[in-house]
A and B are shown apart, each in its own frame.
Chain A
Amino acid sequence: MFYLIRNELIKMLCQKKNYVVIGGHLFMLGLCYLGFITSRMRFLERGLNRNVGIAFDDVMSYVDALFFARAALIPTYFIIFPIFICTIAGDIVAGEIQEGNLKLYASRAISRQKIILSKLVSIFVVAFMYSCYFALANVVIGWIFFGPPGVQLIFMADIVGLATEMVIMPLPQAVECYIYAMLYFSFSVMALGCITLFMSTLFNRMTTATVAGITVYFVCYIVSAMPFGEEIRPYLLSTVINSVSIFWMERIPMGKLIDNISMIGLYICVFSGLSLASFTLKDIR
Chain B
Amino acid sequence: MILECHNLKKIFGRVKAAQNISLQVERGNILGIIGPNGAGKSTLLKMITGLIWPDSGHVKINGFDVHREHSLAMRKTGAIIEWPSFYPYMSARRNLEILSGARLKKDSQRFREIIAFTGLEKRLDDKAGTYSTGMKQRLGIALAMLPDSEFIILDEPTNGLDPAGLIEIREIVKEYNSRYGTTIIITSHLLNEIEQICHDIAIINNGSIIASGGIRELLHASDILTVVCERPDEACSLLEQAAKEKRFPICPPARLGDELHMELFGECAAAVNRFLIEKGFEVSRITLKHKSLEDFFMKTTSGA
Contact = CB atoms under 8 A, between A and B. Distances in A.
A binds B: yes
Interface in B69-87: 70-75, 77-87
State the main secondary structure of chain B at its contact with A: loop
A4 B74 CA distance: 17
A11 interface: yes
A104 B80 contact: yes
Interface string B172-200: 00000000000000000000000000000
Interface stretch (A67-75, A105-113, A204-212, A234-242): A105-113
* Residue of A103, A104, A110, A111 with most partner-chain B CB within 10 A: A104
A11 B89 CA distance: 9
B116 interface: no
Interface stretch (B49-57, B241-249, B261-269): B49-57
Contact of B81 (A3, A16, A99, A103): A103
B98 interface: yes
A111 B70 CA distance: 6
A51 interface: no
B90 interface: yes
Interface stretch (A27-35, A125-133, A168-176, A277-285): A277-285
B98 A106 contact: no
B90 A101 contact: no
Contact of B89 (A14, A100, A105, A109): A14
A7 interface: yes
B101 A110 contact: yes
Contacts of A107: 49-51, 74, 79, 81, 153
Given A14-B89, A109-B70, A112-B70, A283 B103 contact: no
A38 interface: no
Nearest to A16: B89
B98 A111 contact: no
Contact of B51 (A3, A106, A111): A106
A3 B87 contact: no
A284 B46 contact: yes
Contacts of A112: 70
Interface string B130-150: 000000000010010000000
Interface string A77-112: 000000000000000000000011101111111111
Contacts of A281: 53
A2 to B, nearest CB: 10
A10 interface: yes
Contact of A105 (B70, B94, B99, B103): B99
A14 B86 CA distance: 14
Interface string A1-28: 0011001001100111000000000000
Interface residues of B, number: 36
A7 B103 CA distance: 10
* Residue of B72, B80, B82, B101 with most partner-chain A CB within 10 A: B101
A18 to B, nearest CB: 11
A14 B75 CA distance: 28
B53 A283 contact: yes
Contacts of B73: 109
A283 to B, nearest CB: 5
Interface string A247-285: 000000000000000000000000000000000010111
B22 interface: no
Contact of A11 (B71, B79, B98): B98
Contacts of B51: 103, 106-107, 283-285
Contact of A4 (B89, B101, B143): B101
A109 B83 CA distance: 20
A108 B153 CA distance: 11
B99 A101 contact: yes
B4 interface: no
Interface in B234-282: none
B52 A10 contact: no
A107 B81 CA distance: 9
Given A107-B81, A112-B70, A10 B98 contact: yes
Nearest to B100: A108
A124 to B, nearest CB: 19
A284 B52 contact: yes
B102 interface: yes
Nearest to A4: B101
Nearest to A104: B99
B126 interface: no
A109 B82 contact: no
Interface in B56-72: 70-72
Given A104-B99, A108-B102, A283 B89 contact: no
B168 interface: no
Given A101-B85, A283-B53, 10 more contacts: A10-B94, A16-B89, A100-B83, A101-B99, A108-B99, A108-B102, A109-B71, A109-B74, A111-B70, A284-B46
15 contacts: A7-B98, A10-B98, A101-B85, A101-B86, A101-B87, A103-B82, A104-B79, A104-B81, A104-B84, A108-B99, A109-B74, A109-B77, A111-B70, A112-B70, A283-B51
Interface of A: 3-4, 7, 10-11, 14-16, 99-101, 103-112, 281, 283-285
Nearest 4 pairs between A and B by C-beta? A100-B85, A108-B101, A107-B49, A109-B74
